[in-house]
């Protein structure tokens, strides 16, 4: 028996990295997953891996910023599993520049991904969650659901070159606090996890110029080894975090142990 047996979890950006690690952790506890990735291949690979281990998962491929994505994401869960129990707004990337060099396109792209997309997903989920909560209340049952939004240490402390990202990640904390008050009556715990430096394909140490393509844009990724060394020297735990460690913090907010925690933001940064 897993702690999440029968629960339905939707995770954006779960085809790789932190999101994939989280999907594996929740699946191991019995959750049924809706896996999202911008690209089809990693999404289908993650679904296949979950199924190979005896779990249940379906893909929902596409950009979270697409106008129809939120409705399609929610519909995938309802049509396949007839409900929603956990939503994790994890998808994201960075497109950095100092403010005087940042374009409107850069600003809006990052705000759309990290703040507007979660807003749309949660708005689309409301009718499903509300109907279920009202039915359970009429039956005298208390059933908790979970929303976990992802922020960043940049949203708490700011970070040079990231006015767009920092603003979006600060905004998601405000969204979290407000929604915890609006949805408390529905027995939904709404919390936030703010990541510090976590090693992913976006932040891996490299001495080469590397890029990834997101919606037709080629964006630089990776950091110089000297930056990792400098961070490690000032981080109390002595290194950047791993994807499974970041995912573990999110998983905590998805478990029954968090049923009386809401509106909170936890910083996962190794003490930095």
Tokens of 185: 């009556």
Reply yes or no on whether 165 is catalytic. yes
CA distance 229 to 13: 28
> What is the rounded CA–CA span in Å between residue 215 and residue 205?
24
- Cα(242)–Cα(236) distance, integer angstroms: 15
**211-238 b/e (C-beta count within 10 Å ≥ 16 → b):** eeebeeeebebbbeeeebeebeeebeee
Angle, helices 117-138/69-81, rounded to nearest 10 degrees:
30
* Full DSSP string of 10-68: EETT-SSHHHHHHHHHHHHTT-EEEE--SSHHHHHHHHHHHHHTT-EEEE--S-TTSTT
Q: Which of 81, 93, 165, 253 is catalytic?
A: 165
111 class by beta-carbon count within 10 Å (0-12 exposed, 13-18 middle, 19+ buried): middle
The answer to whether 93 and 113 are in contact (CB under 8 A) is yes
Spatial CA neighbour of 115 closest among 195, 191, 175, 62: 175
List residues bridging with 34 in a β-sheet. 10, 58
Residues with catalytic function: 165
């Amino acid at each position: 028996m897993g702690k999440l047996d029968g629960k339905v979890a939707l995770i954006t950006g779960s085809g790789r990295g932190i999101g994939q690690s989280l999907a594996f952790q929740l699946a191991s506890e019995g959750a049924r997953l809706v896996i999202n990735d911008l690209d089809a291949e990693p999404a289908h690979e993650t679904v296949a891996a979950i199924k190979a281990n005896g779990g249940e998962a379906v893909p929902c491929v596409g950009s979270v910023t697409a106008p129809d994505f939120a409705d399609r994401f929610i519909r995938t869960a309802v049509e396949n599993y007839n409900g929603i129990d956990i939503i994790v707004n994890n998808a994201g990337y960075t497109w950095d520049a100092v403010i005087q060099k940042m374009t409107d396109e850069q600003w809006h792209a990052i705000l759309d991904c990290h703040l507007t997309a979660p807003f749309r997903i949660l708005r689309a989920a409301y009718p499903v969650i509300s109907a279920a909560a009202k039915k359970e209340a009429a039956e005298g049952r208390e059933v908790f659901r979970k929303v976990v939004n992802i922020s960043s240490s940049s949203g708490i402390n700011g970070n040079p070159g990231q006015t767009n990202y920092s603003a979006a990640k600060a905004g998601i904390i405000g969204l979290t606090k407000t929604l915890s008050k609006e949805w408390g009556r529905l027995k939904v715990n709404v919390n936030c996890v703010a990541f510090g430096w976590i090693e992913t394909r976006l932040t891996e140490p490299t001495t080469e110029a590397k890029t990834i393509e997101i919606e037709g844009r080629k964006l630089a990724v990776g950091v110089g080894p000297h930056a990792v060394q400098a961070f490690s020297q000032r981080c109390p735990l002595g290194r950047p975090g791993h994807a499974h460690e970041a995912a573990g913090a999110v998983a905590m907010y998805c478990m029954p142990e968090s049923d009386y925690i809401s509106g909170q933001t936890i910083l996962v940064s190794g003490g930095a």
